[in-house]
C-alpha cells in the first residue's frame, strides 16, 4: 500500500499547496474586496466589516497577495514561511487570549493554516507549480 500511494505524493503536494493557497486567498478576498457578502449570524460575518488600515486589513492584504502566490506555486517556500508566521501571529493575538483550548477560542483554523504553511515552506510547491517550471528552464 505504501509503495502504491507514494507515487502520488508529488502531485498531492501540489494539490495541497493549491488548496491551502486558495483557502487563504478567499480570506483575503473577503477582507479586502468584501466578496462574498457573508450573512449575519455566520461566524465569519465580521469579515464584511474589516477596514484596510487595521490589523485584520493588513492580514487580509497579506492573505490576498501571498495566497495568490501560493496558489500559483511562485516563491512557495518564502511565501509559505511568511504565511505560517502570520497565522501564528493571528492565533496568539486573536485567539489565545480568549482561552486555552482552540475549540473554545476559535483558533483551530489558524493553527491548521500555520502548520500547513510551515510544511509547505520545507516541502516546496511540488511538481505542478511555477517554481517547478522555472527550475526546468
pLDDT digits over 104-134, tens only? 999 999 999 999 999 999 999 999 999 999 9
Q: What is the pLDDT of residues 32-91, one digit of tens each?
A: 999 999 999 998 999 999 999 999 999 999 999 999 999 999 999 999 999 999 999 999
What are the CA-CA distances from residue 86 to residues 9, 114, 118, 129, 135 (Å)?
A: 27, 8, 11, 23, 28
Weakest mean pLDDT among 13-17, 27-31, 42-46, 73-77:
42-46
**pLDDT score at 137:** 75
Other C-beta atoms closer than 10 Å to the C-beta of 79 total 27
Q: What percent of the chain has pLDDT over 70?
A: 100
Rounded to 5 degrees, φ, ψ at 35 are: -130, 135
Amino acid at each position: 500500500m505504501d509503495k502504491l500511494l507514494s507515487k502520488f505524493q508529488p502531485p498531492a503536494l501540489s494539490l495541497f499547496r493549491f488548496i491551502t493557497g486558495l483557502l487563504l486567498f478567499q480570506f483575503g478576498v473577503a477582507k479586502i474586496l468584501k466578496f462574498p457578502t457573508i450573512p449575519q449570524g455566520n461566524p465569519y460575518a465580521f469579515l464584511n466589516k474589516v477596514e484596510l488600515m487595521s490589523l485584520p486589513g493588513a492580514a487580509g492584504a497579506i492573505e490576498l497577495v501571498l495566497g495568490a502566490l501560493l496558489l500559483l506555486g511562485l516563491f512557495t517556500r518564502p511565501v509559505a514561511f511568511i504565511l505560517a508566521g502570520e497565522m501564528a501571529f493571528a492565533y496568539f493575538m486573536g485567539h489565545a487570549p480568549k482561552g486555552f483550548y482552540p475549540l473554545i477560542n476559535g483558533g483551530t483554523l489558524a493553527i491548521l493554516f500555520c502548520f500547513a504553511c510551515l510544511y509547505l515552506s520545507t516541502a516546496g510547491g511540488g511538481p505542478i507549480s511555477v517554481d517547478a517550471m522555472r527550475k526546468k528552464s
